Structure 1
């Protein structure tokens, strides 16, 4: 049977690894170095899978809490009311005009939302609905004021107002454990809110009217005083104004008697000056023209007679000579007419010049007289102007008080009319109806929150425990935390046969895993797998003896002669037929190993047992005798596998590693702490040994990640036990 397994194992190669992946030192970094990585989903899944029962337990607790909260929570009902808010408008009507005033405000909606949430409104609702007398609502403890205070607090606490993002609709709700009470209070809040608005408007109008009445009385007194001061000063200074001028204009000099006289004289002076200019122009023109126009008018008859005689003279000249008596008589008559015309012209021109000169002198005299009067009034007006400065100040004060008084009267009338015809800016769109089902508790929401909360809490607790439990668990931990190559991962599964049975079966998950480790060892050094290999761990019971046996058996199945040395002189793991021979005897003598090596039940596999338990193992190993034993073993066997004590706490493993030259560290997944594994690595490296890598045992890591999808792995060395290896005494 053993030979058959060995023949099967000679050519068995379940895995193929790239050469560069196992080049010595290719994955080795200083122990403790931690490279930076991004989000590792595989590590997250590994943590969740490792603590899956914890996560599921917390998840179940969250679901139970959600269901329990749903069962224990009092059922609450919510009633909704919708209000429409419009800017208030006030119509002001009188006999002459009709005016519509609209109040607009950007924060009108926010103001209404704030008023809905006010405690004053809540107290009004409690009073209107007599909630203080409802024992189911406020209880029976305390006096009336205390119950009213509790009722107000309950109304305010159950009210929720939703401010609109756009539009003019405000929705609010009230929550109660009674559906009828929820609808009753919600509608009471709506009605009370509208009543409060109307009362505030009325109170505001009443206050404004009262305030305006006070201001009007005060302004009236000021107006009367200013008017008295004005009249007193005018009387004292003798200032008389005939008119007050146009409304809103300042009084001028023309409003006084002196001013009006000066204006009239100025106007008369201007007219006299114009008359004088016209008379002077007419006189100058008459002098230049010589009175031709008036002379022509006065001598027109003479000139007509002369023209008649000249015409007769010309007619007779054709028949008579100028010396004829008739002709001479006509000439004499014509000459006489010329003398008369010249005389008349001279008389007319002289009379006209005299008349125009008189008119000119009269106009000039009137102008000079008026000019003198104007000059006299100017001084009087200038004196009046100086005395009118105070008068004008008093007059402006009177006008100001009168304008303020008129404005207050007008505003008072407007408020009186507006306060009586104004409308409420709030209307009820939808009144509250009795809710048919509670809105709280929401069983599905509570279960969802419990599920999500339990899942998150479970995963968080799992990661917290995983962080607190700082152990080596995965290949990545070996590479990142220890800076060493991971030679393989030995799975762990409960309920399977013992280790020897699994190792006997080359197709078992454990055998497959150790075959992968063996393949990795072939590329751990430039010369291939080391001839002598020390197998050790940081702590006891991590699977180092099992790993040493598994490697030795794997080498043996491939046809190589293998010697398994049990060098744990304190707690040996392998038992032979007799305990009187072994490594202890060889360390204290110069005997050959042939007398102490025993053949095992496995083909090609021999055992050098520990022998008697020595009281001073470290002293025996420090002599250097073990190096001679190891050299002799290398001469007789193809492979030598050394089972060493743990590396921490004692110096045995350090001495053995220095003699072996190559060592493999066995780490139990999820048990060996990171600092312990790092310390073990450092102690081995300090001995000068070539640490070929780390083998991870008893791993619960997902098999599908590493090619073992068809297997569920068994347990490796869950507890310390002796392995009986002897079948017969080996020949010398």
Structure 2
């Protein structure tokens, strides 16, 4: 036999639907209770009004001309971190306390009630303001939305707006306090740096006076740039520049004197003798013109020649005089330039020594000058930072501004009747389902074919539906088309394949407890076999509370067990069903278990199995009795009857273990009174003796005997 305990109860969709169908009235009741509860809660809840405010948060920026500071201002502020920080500040206790103080809520009896001192009322007001504030954290952007809940629409809007005002004022005050501290710190640093700067400047001036160093301040920002800022240095530079110019003039004069004289003299001679040469040219032309008419010794010709010769002498004298003047001028210019160059060269040589001496004495001066420059740079930087702090601490540059102020709410935010009804419906449904599932598994019974297979590890031979008709069980069996008859036909078909040989020769029908329909199932199976032409003997093996009644009490199993010489055939009576015979239980013995423990029942069973095609034994329930186990050890094949929704899982497992210990083969289980398609399972603990008063006896006599 397979291990029936390998699987526990499971909950799948089909099982859930079945549970809902079975416990539908419980679930509907829980839903109704949830809806009624939501209505009651809505009526008893004080209305709460909600007002919304939208704020815009912009990280502060300061316009700074310094390049390094501007880069720090542009990249050092994370907008998201700043917005999240503002959300945390808005939700802080200090903002709630400030809003309560600004609105004087501590003295508002509608808000904090009466009684208590001023400090306790203020603390209570701040706590209520903080409790009614709901801030939404923005996923992106710089807009912060928050709401405030109050029992009065006016209070809701007023407190929501005041929280915004208090938040902005708190930001401004915090920035002002931070900038004031920074300003005080910078003022102290500036005073200390100013003292150091003044001290270093006095040391520099005293050393310069002692050493006779005069700085002209020609460097950048008035700072010394070496020798060029001293008088000697500047004079040396000027003389060097003048010496270079004098050398250039001397070189030009010498060149003009030595190589450019000819060009310059010829030009002067031509200029001074130009008129004389013009006159000579005119006389020479006249002489040549008259030469064609006169001879050279003609007085006119001689007169013209003499005049021409005189002009040649004048031209020669004038050229000589012009040449001599030009040469003297060039020589004088050359000598003057050379003298000036030599004088400047001497001055430069003298100043070089003075500058070299000044350089040796200016080493300490340079050190002092560098200290002055350092202190001046620190002083300028502190002043610049002081200006920045002053700009950043301005009260007109709040990073928070109000976008939408709170208006009076048009209606209460809570209670929401529709939402409460939906919540009540959901809670009722969830509670009903939970209760149904809990009850279903608290009373863990066998209900479906799957339970038989999964929980007990048995083959389900069939499921017999529970009928609601008025016809008797016998009448339903007589009708082959009835639901019960069709269901048992399926059981009979399954029994034909329950063993390796096919249909078993003998079969025991039992159940876990009484009232599960085992006797009815035994009769129905026997009647179905008989209807198919199989000779069937139905043995009523329940010697305590027999289910089948014959016409006479003189025959039955009890008499066979107590009388060993009697034939079993003599205690078999016909029934109203063709091919179906009955061996009743007979008179009730005082000791059924003792009778069944003898070997007599084995002899009786061997006799009747040889005379009938199949013998079906209706045995007592297994729970609390040894009769079924004794009968099972003899019969060998068992069909277990289980009442759907009544038989407990653990009880059925215990019955299977007991039957398995008898060595019998369990063919399978039949599920009776099944409600798989009808819904609704109940539970009621029945004992075997509890049904004694309600037990229905089935009269098994032929029609002729009934008349």
Residue 51 of structure 1 corresponds to 23
The Cα offsets for residues 673-724 of structure 1, whole Å up to 9 and x where unpaired, read as 445545655776787766443211232322499xxxxxxxxx9x99353635
Give me the TM-score of the superposition, normalised by structure 2.
0.79
- Counterpart check, 1:644 vs 2:619: yes
Residue 583 of structure 2 corresponds to 608
Q: How much does 1:225 deviate?
A: 3.2
**For 2:704 and 2:598, how far apart are their aligned partners in 1?**
28
- Counterpart check, 1:276 vs 2:250: yes
**For 1:323 and 1:618, how far apart are their aligned partners in 2?**
210
Residue 98 of structure 1 corresponds to none
**For 1:524 and 1:342, how far apart are their aligned partners in 2?**
169
**For 2:617 and 2:655, how far apart are their aligned partners in 1?**
17
Residue 670 of structure 1 corresponds to 645
Tell me which of 551, 555, 571 is aligned to 1:596. 571
Residue 691 of structure 2 corresponds to 719
Q: How much does 1:608 deviate?
A: 1.8
The Cα offsets for residues 445-481 of structure 1, whole Å up to 9 and x where unpaired, read as 3332222112112212322343444432211222333
Higher deviation after alignment, 605-614 or 143-152 = 605-614
Q: Secondary structure at 1:693's aligned position in 2?
A: strand
Distance 1:167 1:355, change over 3 A: closer
Q: Secondary structure at 1:487's aligned position in 2?
A: strand
Q: How much does 1:205 deviate?
A: 6.7
The Cα offsets for residues 486-516 of structure 1, whole Å up to 9 and x where unpaired, read as 2221233689676556546656543443233
Does structure 1 conserve the Cα–Cα contact (< 8 Å) formed by 2:47 and 2:412? yes
Does structure 2 conserve the Cα–Cα contact (< 8 Å) formed by 1:63 and 1:451? yes
**For 1:628 and 1:729, how far apart are their aligned partners in 2?**
31
Distance 1:229 1:408, change over 3 A: farther
Equivalences for 1:34-49 in 2 at 5 Å?
40-49=12-21
- Counterpart check, 1:286 vs 2:260: yes
Residue 390 of structure 1 corresponds to 367
Does structure 2 conserve the Cα–Cα contact (< 8 Å) formed by 1:242 and 1:255? yes
The Cα offsets for residues 621-641 of structure 1, whole Å up to 9 and x where unpaired, read as 674x65553443244334321
Distance 1:383 1:462, change over 3 A: farther
Equivalences for 1:105-254 in 2 at 5 Å?
106=79, 110=84, 113-162=87-136, 172-186=146-160, 188-190=162-164, 192-193=166-167, 196=170, 213-214=187-188, 216-245=190-219, 247=221, 251=225, 253-254=227-228
Residue 240 of structure 2 corresponds to 266
Does structure 1 conserve the Cα–Cα contact (< 8 Å) formed by 2:51 and 2:149? no
**For 1:584 and 1:250, how far apart are their aligned partners in 2?**
145
- Counterpart check, 1:70 vs 2:42: yes
Q: Secondary structure at 1:666's aligned position in 2?
A: strand
Q: How much does 1:535 deviate?
A: 2.0
Residue 632 of structure 1 corresponds to 607
**For 2:676 and 2:531, how far apart are their aligned partners in 1?**
27
**For 2:249 and 2:342, how far apart are their aligned partners in 1?**
12
Does structure 1 conserve the Cα–Cα contact (< 8 Å) formed by 2:512 and 2:623? yes
Q: Secondary structure at 1:640's aligned position in 2?
A: strand
Does structure 2 conserve the Cα–Cα contact (< 8 Å) formed by 1:599 and 1:730? no
Residue 565 of structure 1 corresponds to 539
Give me the TM-score of the superposition, normalised by structure 1.
0.76
The Cα offsets for residues 319-347 of structure 1, whole Å up to 9 and x where unpaired, read as 46668898788778767766775676566
Does structure 2 conserve the Cα–Cα contact (< 8 Å) formed by 1:273 and 1:364? yes
**For 1:596 and 1:603, how far apart are their aligned partners in 2?**
18
Q: Secondary structure at 1:175's aligned position in 2?
A: strand
Does structure 1 conserve the Cα–Cα contact (< 8 Å) formed by 2:203 and 2:368? no
Q: Secondary structure at 1:534's aligned position in 2?
A: strand
**For 2:411 and 2:290, how far apart are their aligned partners in 1?**
149
**Which ranges of structure 2 fall in alignment gaps of 5 or more residues?**
64-72, 681-685
**For 2:658 and 2:406, how far apart are their aligned partners in 1?**
83
Residue 17 of structure 1 corresponds to none
Q: How much does 1:275 deviate?
A: 0.6
RMSD across aligned positions (CA): 4.7
Higher deviation after alignment, 678-687 or 214-223 = 678-687
Residue 365 of structure 1 corresponds to 339
Does structure 2 conserve the Cα–Cα contact (< 8 Å) formed by 1:81 and 1:171? yes
The Cα offsets for residues 532-566 of structure 1, whole Å up to 9 and x where unpaired, read as 33323345543322211221233344554321012
**For 2:173 and 2:135, how far apart are their aligned partners in 1?**
22
Residue 701 of structure 1 corresponds to 676
Q: Secondary structure at 1:471's aligned position in 2?
A: coil
Distance 1:584 1:674, change over 3 A: farther
Does structure 1 conserve the Cα–Cα contact (< 8 Å) formed by 2:466 and 2:674? yes
The Cα offsets for residues 380-416 of structure 1, whole Å up to 9 and x where unpaired, read as 4455455353254144235425634663675588579
Equivalences for 1:398-437 in 2 at 5 Å?
399-401=376-378, 403-404=380-381, 407=384, 418-419=394-395, 426-427=401-402, 429-433=404-408, 437=411
Residue 292 of structure 2 corresponds to 318
Does structure 2 conserve the Cα–Cα contact (< 8 Å) formed by 1:472 and 1:672? yes
Residue 456 of structure 1 corresponds to 430
Name the count of aligned residue pairs. 679
**For 2:576 and 2:542, how far apart are their aligned partners in 1?**
21
Distance 1:30 1:167, change over 3 A: closer
Distance 1:688 1:429, change over 3 A: closer
Does structure 2 conserve the Cα–Cα contact (< 8 Å) formed by 1:491 and 1:698? yes
Residue 68 of structure 2 corresponds to none
**For 1:463 and 1:273, how far apart are their aligned partners in 2?**
121
Higher deviation after alignment, 290-299 or 649-658 = 649-658
Does structure 1 conserve the Cα–Cα contact (< 8 Å) formed by 2:179 and 2:389? no
**Which ranges of structure 1 fall in alignment gaps of 5 or more residues?**
1-27, 93-101, 706-714
Does structure 2 conserve the Cα–Cα contact (< 8 Å) formed by 1:489 and 1:699? yes
Does structure 2 conserve the Cα–Cα contact (< 8 Å) formed by 1:618 and 1:651? no
Q: How much does 1:291 deviate?
A: 3.4
- Counterpart check, 1:486 vs 2:468: no
The Cα offsets for residues 266-322 of structure 1, whole Å up to 9 and x where unpaired, read as 221121122112112211223565932233344445544554554354335434666
